[in-house]
Amino acid sequence: MTIHNHTPLCSTEVGSLWTQYQNDSLAVCILKHMLQNIEDTDIKEVVQFALQVAENNLTQITSLLAGSQFPIPKGFTQDDINLNGPRIFLDAFYLYYLKHMSRLGLAAYSLSLSLAARGDIRNFYQNCLHASIEIDNKVTSSMLSKGIYIRAPYIPPDDKIEFVSDSSYLGSIFGKKRLLNAIEIGNLFSNLQANIIGEALMTAFAQVVTSQAIREYLLRGKEIANKHVQLFSASLKSSDLPAPSQLNTMIAPSTTAPFSDKLILFHVTVMIAAGIGNYGLSMSTSQRMDLTINYARLLAEIGLYAEDGANLMITNKWLEEPPQAINRVELALSAKK
């Protein structure tokens, strides 16, 4: 394949690279702190590999942006991490965390690849996908070997295919509802897992953050995540399906901050953004009316929460602006004699 790296980066390519730089610089800080505290050698090897991938990505993104004369984002640096800070999670949680983050990475890299036109950018995201798949495989294998992998609920096979015979299949807000189908179970399970991870992160981060305003924001997020966990669990249990347990028992009793308030707040906003996308997809693929209404309601709730997080970032002057289009009117006015 010919790599047309003389072609200017288009807006989608710049946006993807800029966003990934932010996320990978955050990941480097998180993973470096994990490595200071991990006791399990198997988990340590997985985290070391993930760190190597994130650092390599940063090197390549820096080269790609600089080659097209775009400034390198500030992202997160050594100033945002306290390597001497004690652990805030037990070792096993790191696997649950990496499993969730690799899932987000696979989705993001797939989209970035599909939006890229330049050969070197497409190759970069193809390599990112391969590396993310390898991380996910390593994490999954480690979790399975330790007996801590949480599988989605099993359902028995059907003996024949069936077609929907009437509109009662779609259900209503009130009254009897049909059992969940496999797609709806998958949506509920994945969103439930995401909120379990989110609740644990916000609980731990609230213990160590220094700003009272951010602590209150995190505790509010913890309550929202817990409410969503209970709602999704109830939906599964209504069809006699099990729901996974929460992970708060894997939080260490530390109150010493291993990361800056800026990093912690940004991390939460990234996970909220991912949650908004997941809820939107779940709403579009769920066929029971009560589920789609629930997703729409929860979307509105976390949308408001995300806005408050962005305002906190702005108040603290932590919200880094992505590259943006030229204001032609302002440019024309500035050219006036």
Q: What's the average model confidence in pLDDT over 144-158?
A: 93
Topology agreement, domain 11-146 and domain 176-315 = yes
Query: Is residue 169 predicted with pLDDT exceeding 60?
Result: yes
Maximum C-alpha span of the chain: 80
Domain covering 11-146: architecture = Up-down Bundle (1.20)
Name, in order, each residue with C-beta under 8 angstroms of 183's C-beta and a sequence gap of 6 or more: 285, 286, 287
Per-residue pLDDT tens over the stretch 11-23: 999 999 999 999 9
Higher pLDDT, 5 or 314: 314
Residue with tokens 């969940």: 180
Per-residue pLDDT tens over the stretch 265-275: 999 999 999 99
pLDDT at 337: 54
Name, in order, each residue with C-beta under 8 angstroms of 17's C-beta and a sequence gap of 6 or more: 9, 61, 64, 65, 121
Which amino acid belongs to residue 87? Answer: R
CB burial string 83-106: b at 16+ within 10 A, e below: eebebbbbbbbbbbbbbbbbbbbb
pLDDT at 1: 41
What is the residue-wise DSSP string for 259-283? B-HHHHHHHHHHHHHHHHHHHHHHH
pTM of the model: 0.92
176-315: CATH homologous superfamily? Ferritin, core subunit, four-helix bundle (1.20.1260.10)
- Give Cα 117 distance to the centre of its chain: 25
Q: Residue ranges of the domains in the chain?
A: 11-146, 176-315
Cβ pair 92, 250 in contact under 8 A? yes
